[in-house]
């Protein structure tokens, strides 16, 4: 049996629903304001939006919804593009207005990872146009070595492309960094993307993803946890012994579980 290393080289993190609660009071509201601005009758309530979230990428989500409403091509494509442009601009103002919040425990964890010299990367299917502003506003003191957004991939999550590209840009080709890299996600689609790229994955569920299929996750929590407010550990398949606070040691143990 090869010697088990416990060195954590890099952590690749999702943004929407993972680093920040962007969907319910951010993107959803921005989509609805875009509908309103174009005098369209559509509105997405919180439950409907939860279902729509299974389609990743805002423009794809719009196009699928418009198809269900009977809007045909080429109007569907034009309208999805126009709505998405408007929604992105509105989302940026919501971020600037402080509507979107970082999830509790994220700043602590990223600070600890930075202090430990662990590389940080982002792999999101969201658009670069708002992602960079959000990271700067909520996590301005954190250095991300690599940021892969939905604009740079052909296939969005659950396809592994975003994670494969992040690993490449970290200088870790396919199979590189085995046992030393871990992904952090919030959803079933994100988990499939990370696992498809060969990464062990921690899933930190949120209100929209508690019922997602996350059987392939090495560790599942309902929050990042703080020492005085630990999260609930929902599954610990990598036997990390996590006590409800996601930290460098726990992530190193999850990464090492990817060696097997």
- The residues of the shown chain that bind Mg ion, judged by CB under 5 A, are 14, 16-17, 186-187, 190
Toward Mg ion, which CB reaches closer, 173 or 207?
Answer: 207
27 binds, among Mg ion, ligand XBP, none (CB under 5 to 8 A by kind): ligand XBP
- Residue 90 CB, shortest distance to Mg ion, in Å, is 20
What's the token pair of residue 148? 């892969």
Q: Which residue is nearest to Mg ion (CB)?
A: 17
List the single partner that 124 binds among ligand XBP, Mg ion, none, CB under 5 to 8 Å by kind.
ligand XBP
14 is catalytic: yes
Q: Which does 32 bind (CB under 5 to 8 A by kind): Mg ion, ligand XBP, none?
A: none
- Partner that binds at residue 150, options ligand XBP, Mg ion, none, CB closer than 5 to 8 Å by kind: ligand XBP
- Tokens 């430990």 belong to which residue? 116
CA distance 256 to 61: 36
**Residue 255 near residue 180 (C-beta atoms within 8 A):** yes
Residue of 16, 21, 159, 247 with catalytic role = 16
Given a contact cutoff of 8 angstroms between Cβ atoms, the answer to whether 110 and 3 are in contact is no
Let me know: does 235 contact 219? Beta carbons within 8 Å.
yes
State the residue number with the nearest CB to ligand XBP.
58
In terms of residues, how long is the chain?
260
Per partner kind, with CB cut-offs from 5 to 8 A, the member of ligand XBP, Mg ion, none near residue 189 is ligand XBP
Nearest approach in angstroms of CB 163 to ligand XBP is: 11
| Minimum distance of Mg ion from residue 71's CB (angstroms) | 27
Q: Which is nearer to Mg ion, 216 or 249 (CB)?
A: 216
Which residues partner with 102 through β-bridges?
20
Please give the residue ranges that form the binding site for ligand XBP (CB under 6 A). Answer: 14, 16-17, 23, 27, 56-58, 124-127, 150, 157, 187, 189-190
Nearer to Mg ion, 180 or 189 (CB): 189
DSSP string computed for 174-231:
TTTTTTTEEEEESSHHHHHHHHHTT--EEEE--TTTTTS--TT-SEEESS--BTTBPP
* Closer by beta carbon to Mg ion, 75 or else 215: 215
* Residues 68, 72: Cα–Cα separation, whole Å: 10
Q: How far is the CB of 150 from ligand XBP (least distance, A)?
A: 5
Q: Is the N-terminal amide bond of 74 cis, ω within 30° of 0?
A: yes
- Taking alpha carbons only, the member of 220, 239, 242, 222 closest to residue 231 is 222
* Residues in Cβ contact with 137 at an 8 Å cutoff, skipping those fewer than 6 apart: 95, 96, 98
For residue 77, indicate whether it is catalytic.
no
User: Closer CB to Mg ion, residue 186 or residue 247?
Assistant: 186
Q: Can you state the percent helix, strand and coil of the chain, rounding each to 5?
A: 40, 15, 45
Closest distance between Mg ion and the C-beta of residue 40, in Å? 26
Return the active site residues: 14, 16
């Amino acid at each position: 049996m090869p010697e088990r290393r416990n060195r954590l080289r890099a952590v690749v993190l999702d943004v929407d629903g993972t680093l920040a609660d962007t969907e319910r009071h951010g993107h959803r509201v921005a989509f609805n304001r875009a509908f309103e601005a174009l005098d369209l009758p559509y509105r997405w309530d919180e439950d409907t939006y939860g279902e729509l979230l299974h389609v990743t990428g805002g423009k794809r989500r719009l196009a699928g919804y418009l198809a269900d409403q009977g809007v045909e091509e080429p109007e569907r494509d034009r309208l999805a593009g126009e709505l998405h442009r408007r929604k992105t601009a509105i989302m940026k103002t919501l971020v600037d207005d402080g509507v979107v919040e970082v999830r509790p425990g994220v700043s602590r964890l990223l600070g600890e990872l930075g202090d430990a010299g662990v590389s940080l990367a982002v792999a999101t299917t969201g658009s670069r146009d708002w992602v960079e502003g959000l990271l700067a506003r909520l996590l301005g003191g954190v250095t991300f070595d690599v940021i892969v957004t939905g604009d740079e991939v052909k296939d969005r999550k659950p396809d592994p492309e975003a994670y494969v590209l992040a690993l490449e840009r970290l200088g870790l080709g396919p199979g590189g960094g085995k046992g030393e890299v871990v992904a952090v996600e919030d959803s079933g689609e994100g988990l499939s993307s990370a696992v498809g790229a060969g990464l062990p994955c921690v899933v930190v569920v949120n209100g929209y993803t508690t019922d997602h299929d996350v059987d392939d996750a090495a560790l599942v929590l309902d929050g990042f946890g703080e020492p005085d407010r630990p999260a609930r550990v929902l599954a610990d398949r990598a036997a990390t012994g996590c006590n409800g606070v996601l930290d460098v040691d726990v992530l190193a143990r999850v990464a090492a579980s990817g060696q097997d």
